[in-house]
Amino acid sequence: MNVQKVIICLSLSVLVGCEALPKRDPAFAPVQAVDLRPPQQTNGAIYQAGYDMRLFEDHTARRVGDILTVILSENTKAKKKSDLGASKKNSTSVTAPNIMGVDPSIIFGNDLSATLASEHDFKGKGQANQSNSLNGDISVTVVNVFPNGNLRIRGEKRITLNDGSEYVRLSGIVRPVDIDASNTISSTKIADATIMYTGDGAVADSSKVGWFSKFFLSPVFPF
């Protein structure tokens, strides 16, 4: 019996150890760099075209496949407050007319006049505050060069911890003039930026609302 338990434990450990990493999102996958090397020449000359050294050229990203480091410095704050009040009052009085000059209360013994009154009052308040911050850095690759010289970049950083993984995904368009000499650029200078910070695993699942609780928090729930 003990031998069977040992075999089962070993089998489970092998399955856990062989667990594959999550597949990379193709929307943020790197691309193959363009081969810019000229064909090999065998003309016997000492000088070979295309193998010259540019002493005054920097090493910032400018071609497809080049690597660029993005400094994440995202800080957003949003605040919204609303205050609404409305009131309405209405009063209507109807006097019973005389019937052939005689007060109808004498005939019917009751006062037939009526008074209608209504009052409505509404007051609502709402306030929402939200603050987000994302700091760090991520290295991405150039995937396209536009005719005007702008670069489309994208990349993904995956960090696998004990009980889950974290992902930082980024894509957008940058101008070469915004890239500094150290081949870095701030995330605030990326146009059409898509920045995602997500995770999976036991820790991430524990912070999510279950599907049954989502029903009671959704607008579908009538109460």
- The model's pLDDT over 95-110, given as tens digits with 9 standing for 90+, comes to 766 666 666 666 666 6
103 with 197, same domain?
A: no
Query: Is the pLDDT confidence value at 112 over 80?
Result: no
pLDDT over 70, % of the chain: 58
> Looking at residue 146, what is its pLDDT?
93
Structural domain includes residue 105: yes
Q: In what order do the strands lie in the sheet with 191-201?
A: 184-186, 67-94, 114-145, 151-161, 164-174, 191-201
Q: How many domains does the chain have?
A: 2
92 with 65, same domain?
A: no
100 with 192, same domain?
A: no
201 with 146, same domain?
A: yes
91 with 70, same domain?
A: no
Domain extent for 121: 81-127
158 with 64, same domain?
A: yes
Mean pLDDT computed over 12-21: 48
Structural domain includes residue 8: no
Structural domain includes residue 35: no
63 with 156, same domain?
A: yes
Structural domain includes residue 6: no
pTM of the full predicted structure?
A: 0.57
**d(Cα 212, Cα 106) in Å, to the nearest integer?**
67
